[in-house]
Amino acid sequence: MNHLFLKNIPMFSELKDDILEKIIALMQKRTYRKNNVILMEEDAGDTLFFLNKGSVKITRLSDDGREVILSILGDGDFFGEMSIFDGESRSANVIALEDTEVFILKRGDFLDLLEKHPKIAINLLQELARRLRKSDQQIEGLSLSDAENRIAMSIIRLAEDLGVIKMGQVVIENLPYQQDIANMAGTSRETVSRMLNLLQRKGLIQKKGRKLIITNYEDFQKQFG
Ligand code: CMP
């Protein structure tokens, strides 16, 4: 396996090549097809996952059996760290949104790396702080705004997690299903469909198959963020 892919993972991006080579030697590659369950809530677990290709949704089931999407992660992101640190079972399900390739690292090997390379720990803490901020925003958004604003806010989250920004436009190549967006925003698929059509008619977004373009991201954020 080539260690260069580790350079795309922010947690490892500043490490020298010889260290990256040692890290990649500790990792195992796994692939999942679209919709495969990678981790199940309540399972025991002591491995950390790095996303090399693809994207995943982090979900839990509500009391009445609806799927709630806590987050969507893409290239270079990691997951599975919570059980590694607190020794509890997996806190959520992780499901592939498309064909996905991951590299996994065992708990003991990861803890050794953190001790030897404090930079990895600092990068990890930075990302965890970012995730907590996003969750705080999500809690605020879910409790304050109406369904249409919540959908727009979910689109902003998707833009941040999966989109590529170019000349003021954000392109999301593989937009999750409308049902997934509904599960992020706590609303129905029909409301998502209606809202996407409305945003399209207003010229704020363009949809072409699975691709979604936010025409002017700054304006979109001003209006809904
Ligand atoms: P773990 O609990 O081991 O397994 C499920 C993983 O989902 C968890 O580690 C985190 O990596 C990830 N996860 C759980 N909640 C969130 C969240 N709110 N945002 C991003 N990732 C999360």
pTM of the predicted structure, to 2 decimals: 0.84
pLDDT tens by residue, 57-73: 999 998 888 899 999 99
Instruction: Label residue 82 by pLDDT band (50, 70, 90).
Output: very high
With a cut of 90, say whether residue 179 has pLDDT above it. yes
- d(CA 93, CA 119) in angstroms, rounded, equals 29
Q: In angstroms, what is the span from residue 208 Cα to ligand 1's centroid?
A: 31
With a cut of 90, say whether residue 55 has pLDDT above it. yes
With a cut of 80, say whether residue 1 has pLDDT above it. no
- 175 phi, psi to nearest 5 deg: -60, 130
Average pLDDT for 200-208: 94
Average pLDDT for 184-201: 94
Atom of ligand 1 nearest to the CA of 83: 3
Atom of ligand 1 nearest to the CA of 79: 11
Ligand 1 environment, Cβ below 6 A: 39, 45, 58, 70-71, 79-83, 90-92, 94, 131, 135
pLDDT tens by residue, 22-44: 999 999 999 999 999 999 999 99
If one residue of 71, 95, 154 were mutated to test the ligand 1 pocket, choosing by the most ligand atoms within 8 A of its CB, it would be: 71
Cβ contacts of 95 within 8 Å, gap of 6 or more: 35, 36, 37, 38, 56, 57, 59
Predicted pLDDT at 221: 93
With a cut of 90, say whether residue 141 has pLDDT above it. no
Q: What is the mean pLDDT of the chain?
A: 93
The residue type at 162: L
Q: In angstroms, what is the span from residue 45 Cα to ligand 1's centroid?
A: 12
Predicted pLDDT at 145: 77
Three-point CA angle 81, 83, 88, nearest 5°: 165
With a cut of 80, say whether residue 6 has pLDDT above it. yes
Q: In angstroms, what is the span from residue 134 Cα to ligand 1's centroid?
A: 13
Per-residue three-class SS string for the chain: CCHHHHHHCHHHCCCCHHHHHHHHHHCEEEEECCCCEEECCCCCCCEEEEEEECCEEEEEECCCCCEEEEEEECCCCEECHHHHHHCCCCCCEEEECCCEEEEEEEHHHHHHHHHHCHHHHHHHHHHHHHHHHHHHHHHHHHHHCCHHHHHHHHHHHHHHHHCEEECCEEEECCCCCHHHHHHHHCCCHHHHHHHHHHHHHCCCEEEECCEEEECCHHHHHHHHC
Q: In angstroms, what is the span from residue 214 Cα to ligand 1's centroid?
A: 28
With a cut of 80, say whether residue 144 has pLDDT above it. no
Atom of ligand 1 nearest to the CA of 135: 18
With a cut of 90, say whether residue 142 has pLDDT above it. no
